[in-house]
Chain A
Amino acid sequence: MSNIRKAFENGKAFIPFITCGDPDLETTEKLIYAMVEAGADLIELGIPFSDPMAEGPVIQEGNIRALKNDVTTDMVFDMVVRVRKTVKIPMVFMTYANVLFSYDLDRFAAKCKEVGIDGVILPDVPYEEKEEFDKPFSKYDLDVISLVAPTSKNRIKSIAKDAKGFLYIVSSLGVTGVRSEITTDIKAMVDLAKEVNDIPCAVGFGISNPKTAKEMAEKSDGAIVGSAIVKICKEYGRDCVYPVAKFVKEMKDAIR
C-alpha cells in the first residue's frame, strides 16, 4: 500500500491539481510548497501531454504552455526530487498513457518510486486496460488510481473493488472544467463503492468554489480541483503562487 491514504487522515481531503511547467518549473516548485502550507492534503502533478483528451480548454492550454517551455518527463522527475526534500504529503502524477508508455512503463514506475511519487492517475486507461499499468506500479507499492464516472453504473462495484489509494469520482459527463452545478448523485456512487471496498473517495471535475467543494466533500472523502487553479496560473503567470495558495486555503477551510 502506498502513502496515499495518509491524505485522508486529516479530515476531508483537499486535492489540488497543477500542470508541471505552467508557467515554468520553478513556479511549479514554489506552488507545491505554497499549497502544502495552505493545507493541501495530496497534490496532483500534471505531466504535460500534447493531446489531453479528457481535458477542457483551461487545462489543455496549461499543457500547451508547459510544452512550449520544452518541459519533459525527466525535467518533471528532477523537480520532484528537489521538492521531496521537504514536502511530506502524498503526491501523484496525472497524465496520459502515452507519456508513461513512451518512457517504458517499468522504468517510469521505478523512477516514481525513486523520486517519491505515490501513484498515477491516467484518464485514458479504463478498468479494461488497467492491468498493463498496474503490474509495474504494484511492484513498487505504488497505486494506479481508478476512476468512476456518472455513466459507470453497473461497473462501479468491480472498479471500486480493485481500486487502490483512493477512488476518483468523476462528478459529471464531459471533460474537465468549471461547472455551474453538479447534478450527479455523488452520494449513491460513493455508497456503492464503499459497499465493496473501504477506500477513500474523492470527487473531481467541475469543482471551482468553496461552496461546491463543501457539498462534494460532505458526500465523499475529499474534493479535487484542477481547472480553477490552472485558470489562476494563466491569469497571474509567475505571480500565481500567492493567489493559488489563498484559493487552496479557502477551499480547505470550507471542507475541513
Chain B
Amino acid sequence: MGKGRFGVHGGQYISETLMNAVLELEEAYNKYKNDPDFNRELEELLNQYAGRPSRLYYAERMTRDLNGAKIYLKREDLNHTGAHKVNNALGQVLLAKKMGKTRVIAETGAGQHGVATATVAAMMGMECEIFMGKEDCERQALNVYRMKLLGAKVHPVTSGTATLKDAVSETFREWTGRIEDTHYVIGSCMGPYPFPTIVRDFQAVISKEIKEQMLKAEGRLPDAVVACVGGGSNAIGTFYNFIEDKDVRLIGCEAAGRGIDTWETAATISTGKLGIFHGMKSYFCQNEYGQIAPVYSISAGLDYPGIGPEHAYLHDIGRAEYVAITDDEAVDAFEYLSRTEGIIPAIESAHAIAYAIKEAPKMDKDKIMVVTVSGRGDKDVAAIARYRGEDLYE
C-alpha cells in the first residue's frame, strides 16, 4: 500500500502523469513545514492579512435560550474573505511560490475556496484559474463575480452533475495538462497524499487557537467541539489539536439534504461506503457498481459525495462522531443564529449550529461546547430567501 494512509484510507490513486507532481509537493512540504522562515512568513500573513487569531466568542444569548451547555463560537467567518478557507489558501499558495510555481488552479463549491485562492493569488502576484460547477456558478453568482474582480479566470464546469465533485475532477484534468508552472490548491482535506495532510496542517490553526483561547477563558478544555463536514477541512482543523484529548468529543455535521433516507443527500458517513475516488480511498456515496452518486444539499460547499480520509479514519476508530443535518434544520439554524446572536452564518456552518441547537439542551450547564462558524452567510441570503418562498435575486 502506498503512502499517506489513515488506517485503510488515503493513498495516492491518481494518474501516473501527476505522480511526480505530488512527490515534488511532498518533498517541498517536508522541507518547508519545519522551516522557521516559512512559518514566520505564514504566521505574519495569517495575522496581518487574514486577521487571525479569529475570536472565540461566548454566545451568551444562545446559551441562555438553549438552557444547557455553555456555547462558544469559533469565528472563522471573521477572517478575511469570510471563511476558514483562507488559512489553507495562504499556506498552499505560499508553498507553491516557494516551489517556483507561477500559476495556481483550484476547484470551488460554494465559491469560498475559489474566492480565498483568488484573493491570495492576487496578493502574491500569481496567475489564478478557478473551476466551479455550472450549477454552483448560478447558485453563487456573487462569488463568481468576486473571483473575477480578484483577477481570476472562472471556468464553469458542465461535465457530470456540474457541481463540486465535477469541479474537482476538472481541476485534476487541468493539472494533468499543465504541471510545470502550476500548483493545484485543493480546498479540502482530501485528494491524493500529501494533500489531506497539508490541508489539515494549515487548518489546524483553528484548534490550536481554540485550545489557547478556551484555557484562557475557562481554564479548561471544552467538552465538545462541533463543525460542519463536506470534504472536512474546517472540521479537521477544529478537531486536530483535540484528537489527543480523549475527553473532548469531536462532532462532524454532514449535509443530509432532504434526509438520509432519500436520494437527495450528501451525508457520506451515514449513507456512503468504502471506495476509491479523487485520489483517495475513503467513504463515498455510490451505487452497488461503484458509480459515484449525484449528491444533493442546499449548501453548495457540503454538496460532495466523499469525505477526507482522516475523517473516515476518525470515524472507524470511533474517535469522532458524524451526524447528519437536513436542509430544513440548517435553514432554521441559519435564521436562529442571525436572530439570537446577530451573526449570519454560512449555510454550511449552519449545519453545525443546528446540531448545537439539538444537543446543547441535553447537556449539563457546566459543560462547554465550541461550534466553529466556518464562514459568514452573506453569500447565502438570497438562496435562503428563495427557500422561504421570497422571490429575491442577487
Contacts and interface: CB of A to CB of B under 8 A. Distances in A.
Contact of B159 (A57, A67, A100, A148): A57
Contact of B166 (A51, A72, A103): A51
A137 interface: no
Given A128-B3, A129-B2, A155-B19, A49 B173 contact: no
Counting chain A CB atoms within 10 Å of each CB, which of B1, B176, B273 scores highest? Answer: B176
B290 A102 contact: yes
A150 B17 contact: yes
Interface stretch (A5-13, A119-127, A193-201): A119-127
Contacts of A96: 276
A205 to B, nearest CB: 9
Nearest to A55: B173
Contact of A173 (B169, B178, B286, B291): B178
B17 A99 contact: no
Interface in B1-59: 1-3, 11-21
B290 A149 contact: no
A175 B173 contact: yes
B173 to A, nearest CB: 5
B292 A53 contact: no
A98 B277 contact: yes
Contact of B1 (A124, A126, A131, A153): A131
Contacts of B292: 50-51, 98
B177 A129 contact: no
A149 B16 contact: yes
A170 interface: yes
A175 B17 CA distance: 9
Interface of A: 49-51, 53-54, 56-57, 60, 64, 67, 72-74, 96-103, 123-129, 131-132, 147-155, 159, 170, 173-175
Top 3 closest pairs, chain A to chain B, by CB: A102-B290, A174-B177, A128-B2
27 contacts: A49-B290, A50-B291, A51-B169, A53-B14, A53-B15, A54-B176, A98-B276, A99-B290, A101-B275, A102-B286, A124-B13, A126-B15, A128-B2, A128-B11, A129-B1, A129-B13, A147-B15, A149-B16, A149-B19, A151-B16, A151-B21, A152-B16, A152-B17, A159-B16, A174-B17, A174-B178, A175-B173
Interface of B: 1-3, 11-21, 159-160, 165-166, 169, 172-173, 176-179, 273-279, 284, 286, 288-292
